[in-house]
Each structure stands twice: as structure tokens, then as C-alpha cells.
Structure 1
Amino acid sequence: MVVTAYSGVLPFMMADWHMTAAQAGSIQSAWHVGYMSSLFAVGLLADRYGPHRVFFIGSAISACSALAFAVFAHDHLSALLLYGLAGLCAGASYTPGLQLLARNAEPAVRGRAMGLFLGAASMGYALSLAVVAAFSHAQHWRLGLLVAAGCTFAGALLTVPALRRMRPPAPPAGKGTAREGTWHALAETVRDRPAMAGNWAYAFHCWELMALWAWLPAYLVASAGGAAPWQGAGIALAAFAHLVSVFGSIGGGAASDRFGRARIMMAASLMSLCMSFAFGWMWTWPLWLLAAMAAIYNLLAIADSSVYSTALADVVAPHRLGVAYSVRSVMGFGAGALSPWVFGLALDWGQTRFGLGSTYSWVAAWSSVGLGALLGPWMIVRFGRLERGRRGR
């Protein structure tokens, strides 16, 4: 609920605080820097103390940090720091969740299980944007952030019955053994060629996906003219695009169980790349048609997200899966931290060069998304070849 809350209020914050596009993008980037850092740490902690405990404690801390952002952010600097803190606290519900699913779902249905997990996340993103749109239009954008933060507390409470359904955690290793095992697992993961090829493909995927999530609401609002009656509608349409992506996560995960991980990753990657280079040219389209294309773009961009997680679980031994997810998270969300800021820089440049209302400024911004993800298909091919070679042995 807090991941997309900022992107829902981004147009209003830019107007109220007189921020440039680069400044606005830097706040979303701060989230991803914090999130990336926490994902690395909680992967190591989950291997040592068990994903059950880390998942529960992290969910509670994440809810508190979301509330702090909603209450205390009042300018660019405070929002940068507080949203970065929210990202730092939020990672504990992601990597341990993937580990729990990998442990509790059989390989034949693991892709669908992880697709449902990420599909639930997409539903939260959609609900968050819908809440922000409704309250920003009727009252004030800060009230929308407060409601979204309140929902994260409900999510933390729901972890209790969820964890009761899981298999009991394995007994934690001794301190010395855990420390030695962590560094050994980290070295093994870095030397694991199929795992690292998949991680690089995931990094290029995140560059594209994180920029899309950060800037889609602002793009739809700007395309509608930015007038007050259309601001809520633009954000609501972005929420609809996230809702459609639920089916992308579930469908992509289930398809990978049937047709193979690399094949689905490649198909989704190529189609979403085409959308990245085409989306900016749609700036002058009617809003309903642009929103429909945004939904398709979101669906394609997220269709392979769960597949990367499942593919890593397929090629990495369970005892170092948390470490492997940590390495992947640093790579993926490191790229995702940069892309919203680079998007903002490209947009500022385009608006200076071509004017505020020019299509070319948005073409430049969305093209930066596609350019950063171009090497993804090559890494997917490499992953597929290495993974087949490992199975052949």
C-alpha cells in the first residue's frame, strides 16, 4: 500500500512544493535505495533467524515508517528522507515472503504461487492509487497517504494467520556457523553463472518496471491537461493499470510452470520493451485509449516479475536462497533506484529543449526506460542456455 502511494500524490506534491521533475523522481529513487538495502539485509537475516520471524517483525516496522512518511513529510528533503526510510523498512515483507513460498510450494506450481504473491502486491498498488486519488480529489493528498499507511497496519496484522499456515521454520544455525555460512553462500552465489545471469536480467527488468510505476500517474494526469477535475481521474486510471497487472503476475507465473521460465521471461521482456519506446508517442491520444495502453504496458512489464523469482529458486540450493535473493535485490532495485531519477532528468531536458507541452519531452523520458532495459533479453538467453546446461549434467 505504501509502494505506489507517493507516485499517486507526485503531481500534487510537485505543485505544492514547486519541485522539478528530477527532484520528484529523486524521492521515488530514495525509496528504491532504501528498499534495495533492506532486501539485502533481510535476506541474510532470514537465512540466519528464519523467514517467519523476519517477515512478521519487518511488516510491523514497515507500517510505522509508512505512517511517519504520511504525517511528517512537508518538503522535498523531508519526503526524500522519510520515503527512503519507508523503503528501508518495507523489504522485510518481500524476500522472506519469497522464501516462505519456495519452501511451501512444490516446484510444479511454484511459478503460480509466486505469481499470486506478486499479483496480491499489484492489487495493493492499485488499491493504494485508488485511495490516494479519491482522497486527493475530495479532501487533500495527505489524507490519502494516511489511509494507505493505515492499511499497512492491517497487512501487518494479517501476517499472523498467514504464518500459522506455513510449515514450521527450521532451527537457526549457531552464530559462528551462520556467519561463515553467509559469506560462503554469498561467494557461491556470485560464482553461480545461471543465477547471476538471471539476476542481471532481473536488474534490467527492474529499471523498466520501477520507472513505469513511479511516473505513470503523473504521465496520465499531464496528458489529461493537469486540470483539477482530471487529476483524480488520471491517478484512478493508473490504479486500474495496476489492477490489470494482477493478471499479468498470475498468468506469467502459471505460464512459466508450463512453458519454461526463460521462454516466458523473453516474451514478456520483448513486448514490454516495445511499449517503453512507443509509450511517449501516445501523449496526445484520448485519455481512455492512453489508459488502455497503460494497462497493457503494466501487464507486460510485470508478467515476468514472479518468473525471475521462481527461476532463481529453481537453480539455487535452498540453504543459500535468502542470500541469492539478497544479491538479486541489490542489483534489481539498484537499477530501479536510478531509473525514476534518470526519467526525471530526461523529462526536464526534453521540456527545456522542446517546451512543456511537447510530445518529444515525454518521448525522451520514456525512451530512457527502454534504453536502460535493452540488455535484458541477452541476459535471458544466457540464463536459459546455462540453466539447460546445468540440467544436462
Structure 2
Amino acid sequence: MFREKLARHPLAVIVIAQLFGTSLWFSVNGVGHALGEAVNLSDAGLGLLTMAVQAGFITGTLLIATTGLADRVRASRLFAMAAVAGALINAGFIMVAGDLQAGVIARFLTGLCLAGIYPLGMKLVVSWTPRYAGAALGWLVGMLTLGTALPHLLRGATFELPWQWPLLLASGLALVAAWLILTLGDGPELPGPARGGRPWAGLAAFRRNNFRASAFGYFGHCWELYAFWTLTPFLVAREIQRLGLDPAWLPWLAFLVIGLGLPGCVWGGRISRWLSSFNVARITLAISGTLCLLYPLLGAAPPWLLLGLLALWGLTVIADSPQFSALASATAPRERLGAALAIMNAIGFAMTIPAIALTTHFWATQELHVIWWLLPGPILGLIALHRMQRQALKEI
């Protein structure tokens, strides 16, 4: 009975579960300042914890793709199991936060669980709403973005409480996400669980020129995206200090900058219905790439102007992601869609690790100029889209 009620609005259920589940992703970053004071964690140490999540996510996506789990196990069950495990491990980080090595392992395992949430969320969206994949995936990735920003909001709301509270709240939300998806189940528009199949079957999608071009565009986007999100508290803190504002503004403004990706994804999804996913991806990637180029040159500009540019960046830096996913979904082999998307995600998120490492390592010496390390990502993505244009994919 209750499942039937949820099935009337499957997209809403999936995107809310995505929001709650992905709150685990940057849960530690949301309390980074307080954690640094509590356990003497450096900026580089925080970067290491962030990279551990990315590495875990990459490992997890490769695991579910090469073992066939992405297509052999029902997406709703895999999502729910991953969300429950991620919630428990995220809460367990509290007990090992003082030990960087143990903390890295815990964050790696959290990333491993996230591999069962994000790619499987994409598959669930396609299974329930295949007709408007670009718009639906816009909501999904928008909720991933808001989930990434959510720890900053949780920290802002609990600023006077110990740093452990936001992590526990994120774990609680992930448990709710597991219950929602397990109750909803899989949609009717994809074939049932696949049997057999070769390891790395998802790599066969790269033989298709159109899929390969969309994937390379996505890789360039990933190089920029997570490094920007990691840098956001640093960039916001710089302007707060210049304005002389209370440090309590930091989590709220960081949440706003990252969270603006939600309307960016949703508006991009709506526009894609008449402008095409290809064109939306190209325009938004060009805007974020231009900000990559110009922002370091404007370091002496008024702080409010730079905060405004960060807001524009947060709006556009993720808006192309659901469109790349829609392009990939439209061109991948349908019988191996889960594996193809999982491998694409794995490679894309592998691109985030060196970008995060470079920017967090050089922030202390290069400050705003570390942003130029992100510029190769948009350039690569635009080149890939140019190749896709020549393959006459404007209609997707």
C-alpha cells in the first residue's frame, strides 16, 4: 500500500533518497574547521580524508561493474545495503578521528558504500523516468550536489554543538534513504537482473564513439568539480576574513555556494528538453571554465564580488553533469547500462584525486592561483564535446 503511494512519485522519492544518502560524502569536510582544532588536523590531512572517499568510490564502482553487481542485483537492494553500511561507517569515523590512518580507512570505506548509492541512483531514475532522462537526472545530480553541501548546513545549524553531531545526523539521513529506496523498489523500464556476463563488460560501451565522447566530456568535468567543492570553504573563508565577518558565516555560505548546484542542475535539465543535453553541457562547462581562468586574476576585487562569482560557479560547475550522464545513458548498451555508467563514474572520479591533491597541497603557497590547476578539466571537456558535435549528436 505504502509502496504504491511512493510509486506515484518515484522521481521525488529517488532524489530525496539521493540527497540523504550522499550527505555522507562530505560529512567530514562540513566539520573540517572544528575537527582540525579538536584533533589537530591540517588542511593537507583534510585533503587526504577527502581523497580517501574518492578512492573508495572509484574502487566501489569498479567492483560493482566488474563483478556484474550493477546489473545482476536489483538496484534498489544494492542502494539500500550501501546506504545502511555507509551510515554505520560514517558514524564510526567519530571513534577514530584522532588517528589519521584509521580515519583514512574509514573514509575509504564510506566512499566504497557511496558507489552503491550514486550510480545506482542514476539507474533507478532511468528505470522509472526514461522519457525525460536529462531532466530527471538533473534532479538526481542536483540532489547529489545538495547532499554534498548538506554537511555544511548541518554544521551551521549545530555550530555551538560538538563536531560529532553533524556526522551522526548525516548517518541518520542515510538510513532513511535506504528505507525509502527499498520500499520503492526498481522501475519497470529496464530489464531484470542480468545473468552471467564477462568482467569489465561495461568497457564495451567505449567502443561506441558517441559514448566515448560523452564520457571524456564527463572526465574533464570531474577534474574541476570535486576540487572546486573541496576548495569552497577555503575560498569562502578568505572573503569572510576580508569582510571581517563572524566565522560562523562560513558553513552557511559554503552550503549556499555548493547548494546552488541544485537549481543549476534542475534548470539545466528543463532547458535540455528544448535546447538538448549536448548544448546545455557545452554552455555550462564553458562558463565554469571561464571562471577557472578569470577568478585568480580578480583576487583584489571586492569580497562581495568574489562571493557572487563563487555563487555563479557553484550554479554552473555541476549543471553539466546530469547532461553528460544523459548523453552516456542514451549511447551505452542498454543491457549493460549499470556497468557502463559505473565504469564511467569510476574513471571520472579517479580524475578528481590528483585535482584535489594539487589544490589542497598548494593552497598555502599559491592561494587563489591553485584554481588554474583545474583549468585542464573544462578544456578537455569542451574538446570532447566538439568531437561529439561533429558526430551529429545535437538531438540528444
* 1:231 match: secondary structure: coil
Relative to structure 1, the CA distance from residue 143 to residue 287 in structure 2 (aligned partners, 3 Å threshold; closer, same or farther) is farther
Give the one of 355, 380, 388 matched to 2:385.
380
Letter in 1 for 2:393: R
| Matching of residue 172 in structure 1 with residue 172 in structure 2 | no
Relative to structure 1, the CA distance from residue 71 to residue 5 in structure 2 (aligned partners, 3 Å threshold; closer, same or farther) is same
State how far apart, in whole Å, the 2-side matches of 1:229 and 1:319 are. 54
| Matching of residue 156 in structure 1 with residue 178 in structure 2 | yes
Query: Which residue number in structure 1 is paired with residue 45 of structure 2?
Result: 23
| Matching of residue 112 in structure 1 with residue 135 in structure 2 | yes
Query: Which residue number in structure 2 is paired with residue 356 of structure 1?
Result: none
Give the one of 118, 121, 135 matched to 2:144.
121
TM-score (norm 1): 0.86
In the alignment, structure 2 segments of 5+ residues that lack a partner are 1-22
State how far apart, in whole Å, the 2-side matches of 1:173 and 1:315 are. 19
| Matching of residue 291 in structure 1 with residue 307 in structure 2 | yes
State how far apart, in whole Å, the 2-side matches of 1:47 and 1:241 are. 35
* 1:138 match: secondary structure: coil
Which is worse superposed, 284-293 or 320-329? 284-293
Give the one of 26, 30, 40 matched to 1:8.
30
Cα deviation for residue 133 of structure 1 reads: 2.5
State how far apart, in whole Å, the 2-side matches of 1:155 and 1:63 are. 10
Query: 4+ runs of 1 displaced by more than 6 Å?
Result: 226-229
Cα deviation for residue 169 of structure 1 reads: 6.9
Cα deviation for residue 87 of structure 1 reads: 0.7
State how far apart, in whole Å, the 2-side matches of 1:111 and 1:127 are. 24
Query: Which residue number in structure 2 is paired with residue 102 of structure 1?
Result: 126
Give the one of 73, 77, 101 matched to 1:77.
101
Contact 1:58 1:90 in 2 (8 A): yes
Relative to structure 1, the CA distance from residue 169 to residue 308 in structure 2 (aligned partners, 3 Å threshold; closer, same or farther) is closer
Query: Which residue number in structure 2 is paired with residue 246 of structure 1?
Result: 262
In the alignment, structure 1 segments of 5+ residues that lack a partner are 351-360
* 2:176 match: secondary structure: helix
Letter in 2 for 1:127: L
Contact 1:223 1:283 in 2 (8 A): no
Let me know the Cα RMSD of the aligned residues: 2.6
| Matching of residue 138 in structure 1 with residue 160 in structure 2 | yes
Q: How does 1:354-393 map to 2 (within 5 A)?
A: 361-386=366-391, 388=393
Give the one of 82, 95, 116 matched to 1:92.
116
| Matching of residue 39 in structure 1 with residue 55 in structure 2 | no
Letter in 2 for 1:132: R
Contact 1:51 1:96 in 2 (8 A): yes
The structure carrying a bigger helix percent of its residues is: 1
State how far apart, in whole Å, the 1-side matches of 2:306 and 2:95 are. 33
* 2:193 match: secondary structure: coil
Q: How many residues align?
A: 372
Query: Which residue number in structure 1 is paired with residue 337 of structure 2?
Result: 321
Relative to structure 1, the CA distance from residue 278 to residue 149 in structure 2 (aligned partners, 3 Å threshold; closer, same or farther) is farther
Give aligned-pair identity as a percent: 22
State how far apart, in whole Å, the 2-side matches of 1:187 and 1:147 are. 38
